[in-house]
Structure 1
Amino acid sequence: MSRFSDCLWDIAISEVQKKENVGKEDDDDDAEGAELSERSVFFLGNKNGGKTTIILRCLDRDEAPKPTLALEYTFGRRSKGHNTPKDIAHFWELGGGTSLLDLICIPITNNSIWMFSIVLVLDLSNPNELWPTMENLLQATRKHVEKVIAEIGKTNSKTANQIKQNIWRSMPKDHPDRELIDPFPVPLLIVGSKYDIFQDFDSEKRKIVCKTLRFVAHYYGASLMFTSKSEALMLKTVTRAFINQLAFGLDKSKSMSVDHSKPLLIPAGLDSLNQIGSPPASDSDLAQFRARTPMELWKKVYERSFPPKNTNCNKDVKDPAKDPQYAESEVDAMRTQKDQELEQYKKNVDKSWREMALESHLR
């Protein structure tokens, strides 16, 4: 039975362990010495970008995806072999695009950071929102991950240093770009979703998006792949393979495709700045951009072709109850009434305290 002080994470782990222990008693001798692995995968990205669909695919759940409200959790299991404990993968999904960044701190903790990875799902059919969504989510996530690592370093510097070293595992030691990139502090997979729509874009626009995402993924030491709802594109199996590598530690896919006329598929560490080339702009145009870093230069070039739309409405929505996509007329009317009653109550209480303070002063 859960204690009142248990947090959602503790309860979830407890429930998983209970299910795993059912019928396990008879297999204890055979499973002796087997190690249980637990990993966490955190899905971020555009609203309605396809995060839930990808998770359901990986878990082989044949059900219609529902809109994600705030932060949602589920888990998957995978057997290593006969009479051995099943590995557990914790799947977290952040809804609301960039409007609920404060919730990023919930799944990323001192305990989970060791086996933690990020899947950033970007909607290829909406290229104008691609860069701001990517930038805001990665900056907020990186800031919190580095904060967690710093907290660990206060009591165990060796452990913190080990976590920092692990980020270079995906990059070969002899890679020519090792000194030019800045790997993300945890494994990162960038997924371009809705390729079935994106493939009909003008070829020059597709090239700009593809080259930009290749640079960003390579700079962060991340894997990059495109996916789609269309089964005809044969991307379902590839998606599952990449996610399972993060969730269950399976062997990394060696397949690779950098052809901009086809879905991109680039495992971390296999691309290079030389193969990617310069930002898609003429030398004279590049000379006009004032940029302090390569990332800033690519951003300026990208936003010239795909200027970001006004995202103030998303940034202002901190409370899911105020998000237009969850509007319910009767519920919202009652909520408004209760909010008004609460405000009136606050005023009455404040007035009472003022009167009591005045009487006390007069005495």
Structure 2
Amino acid sequence: MPKLSTDTLWELAAAEVHTRENGTREEDGGEPVSERTVFLMGSKAGGKTSILLRCLERDEPSKPTLALEYTFGRRARGHNTPKDIAHIWELGGGTSLSDLVQIPISTNNIRTLSVILILDLSKPNALWSTAERLLLEAQTQVQKAFSQVERVRKVQGGGKQQASVQPAARVLPKDYPDRELINPFPIPLLIIGSKYDLFQESDSEKRKVVSKTLRFLAHYYAASLIFTSIKSETLMSKTKTFFSHLAFGQERGKVVSCDTSKPLIIPAGSDSLSQIGSPPSSDVDITSLHARNPLDLWKKVYEHVFPPESTSARLELKDPAKDSQYIEPQIDAMRAQKDQELEQYKRDAAKSWKGLELES
């Protein structure tokens, strides 16, 4: 006769949570976890889905991402070994749906989560604003999730001071280049510059500005950086190596290429501020920009060369129902009817409240 468990439902749930939280990343010095989460975000129509399908070795046509989509990948560590699982979230719409980052970034997966930011190199004018907005949204949500985990830990510990299971942010090695001058992203971050095949056809000086700026951004956030194109098997193979490192804990690779005339391949910790140099500002006086910090300085120089796009178009797409790629005639007609009914209800309600005020 099987032995009956005397644990309460709460004790069983607490034990399950404890088991999940004991997972560690390779960079923490522990064994690779069996489940990890990867969150992809980036430029609208920047090739996120196509890159993901290639990294997962799925031979299927890519489709526009509808808001936020989930998939998963599995990979065996070796012969006759259990397969590791990667939970993968992809955010569509560029920056217009950035509020949705709170779904894939949660207390349930924060300890095994990595972020991939995919930026469209063929649209340099939107590059900085896209990176800035999405990284800020993701970083805010990550820090919020860590804070919630810490509060729960203190409650469970009865308010006693105990060592945190996970620090609130990544702790870089003491010999990490420029460790005291940068602002590491709180979880592992990979920046991918997509559509390199189109990018390499642009003006060489402008390519240099984009390349140096992304080198600075990647180093500032302690992130890895790679330029890729789905039309290049060689570049996609190297991209897949970076992806597999985050998703399955495999070796990241040691290839480094900092030559701005070639596709950049820079693993985190392989670059430095001295190698990157100062912002490319041949036709602007840096001292006249009144930058608050190095990040602000690079932003001002970059946007001097590539003025940001108008925000009006992006604001219009804040509501997915107004996005042309999601058109559904019957649903849209019904939505318009309901919107009219709602407006009429508001007007009627306002009249009723005014009537009540006059009577009183």
Range class of TM-score, shorter chain:
0.7 to 0.9
SS of equivalent residue, structure 1 residue 144: helix
Provide the residue aligned with 1:218 in structure 2. Answer: 219
Quickly say closer, same or farther: Cα 1:176–1:74, change in 2 above 3 A: closer
Maintained 8 Å contact 2:113/2:188: yes
Quote the sequence identity (%): 59
Q: Read off the aligned partner of 1:187 and give its amino acid letter.
A: P
1:127-163 deviation per Cα after TM superposition (whole angstroms, max 9, x unaligned) = 0000000000001111111111122222336565733
Provide the residue aligned with 1:197 in structure 2. Answer: 198
Between Structure 1 and Structure 2, how many residues are aligned? 322
Provide the residue aligned with 1:28 in structure 2. Answer: none
Quickly say closer, same or farther: Cα 1:327–1:103, change in 2 above 3 A: same
SS of equivalent residue, structure 2 residue 74: strand
SS of equivalent residue, structure 1 residue 44: strand
CA–CA distance in structure 2, aligned partners of residues 94 and 65 of structure 1: 14
CA–CA distance in structure 2, aligned partners of residues 60 and 130 of structure 1: 28
Maintained 8 Å contact 1:118/1:188: yes
Matches within 5 A, 1:26-105: 37-105=34-102
Maintained 8 Å contact 1:36/1:85: no
1:110-141 deviation per Cα after TM superposition (whole angstroms, max 9, x unaligned) = 12000001100000000000000000000111
SS of equivalent residue, structure 1 residue 143: helix
CA–CA distance in structure 2, aligned partners of residues 90 and 298 of structure 1: 34
Provide the residue aligned with 2:135 in structure 1. Answer: 138
Maintained 8 Å contact 2:115/2:188: yes
Maintained 8 Å contact 2:244/2:252: no
Using the TM superposition, give the Cα deviation of residue 349 of structure 1 relative to its aligned residue in structure 2, in angstroms.
7.0
CA–CA distance in structure 2, aligned partners of residues 352 and 273 of structure 1: 65
CA–CA distance in structure 1, aligned partners of residues 66 and 282 of structure 2: 44
Using the TM superposition, give the Cα deviation of residue 253 of structure 1 relative to its aligned residue in structure 2, in angstroms.
1.2
Provide the residue aligned with 2:26 in structure 1. Answer: none
Q: Read off the aligned partner of 1:195 and give its amino acid letter.
A: Y
Could you tell me which of 168, 175, 183 is aligned with 2:171? 168
Kindly indicate whether residue 330 of structure 2 is the aligned counterpart of residue 334 of structure 1.
Answer: no
Q: Read off the aligned partner of 1:141 and give its amino acid letter.
A: A
Provide the residue aligned with 1:324 in structure 2. Answer: 324
Structure 2: gaps spanning 5 or more residues:
1-30, 155-161
Quickly say closer, same or farther: Cα 1:238–1:176, change in 2 above 3 A: closer
CA–CA distance in structure 2, aligned partners of residues 176 and 271 of structure 1: 7
Using the TM superposition, give the Cα deviation of residue 338 of structure 1 relative to its aligned residue in structure 2, in angstroms.
2.8
1:17-72 deviation per Cα after TM superposition (whole angstroms, max 9, x unaligned) = xxxxxxxxxxxxxxxxx986110110010110011011101111111110011100
Provide the residue aligned with 1:120 in structure 2. Answer: 117
CA–CA distance in structure 2, aligned partners of residues 317 and 282 of structure 1: 36
Quickly say closer, same or farther: Cα 1:284–1:48, change in 2 above 3 A: closer
Kindly indicate whether residue 281 of structure 2 is the aligned counterpart of residue 277 of structure 1.
Answer: no
Q: Read off the aligned partner of 1:199 and give its amino acid letter.
A: Q
SS of equivalent residue, structure 1 residue 177: coil
Quickly say closer, same or farther: Cα 1:81–1:229, change in 2 above 3 A: closer
Q: Read off the aligned partner of 1:231 and give its amino acid letter.
A: S
Quickly say closer, same or farther: Cα 1:204–1:105, change in 2 above 3 A: same
SS of equivalent residue, structure 2 residue 70: strand
Q: Read off the aligned partner of 1:108 and give its amino acid letter.
A: I
SS of equivalent residue, structure 1 residue 156: helix
SS of equivalent residue, structure 2 residue 307: coil
Matches within 5 A, 1:248-259: 248-259=248-259
SS of equivalent residue, structure 1 residue 221: coil
Provide the residue aligned with 1:267 in structure 2. Answer: 267
Maintained 8 Å contact 2:111/2:166: no
Structure 1: gaps spanning 5 or more residues:
1-33
Provide the residue aligned with 1:314 in structure 2. Answer: 314
Maintained 8 Å contact 2:53/2:60: yes
Q: Read off the aligned partner of 1:48 and give its amino acid letter.
A: A
CA–CA distance in structure 2, aligned partners of residues 175 and 89 of structure 1: 28
CA–CA distance in structure 1, aligned partners of residues 304 and 147 of structure 2: 37
Maintained 8 Å contact 1:152/1:160: no
CA–CA distance in structure 1, aligned partners of residues 165 and 180 of structure 2: 19
SS of equivalent residue, structure 2 residue 71: strand
Provide the residue aligned with 1:230 in structure 2. Answer: 231
CA–CA distance in structure 1, aligned partners of residues 348 and 279 of structure 2: 62
Using the TM superposition, give the Cα deviation of residue 313 of structure 1 relative to its aligned residue in structure 2, in angstroms.
2.6
Aligned alpha-carbon RMSD (Å): 2.5
Maintained 8 Å contact 1:44/1:51: yes
CA–CA distance in structure 2, aligned partners of residues 126 and 275 of structure 1: 26
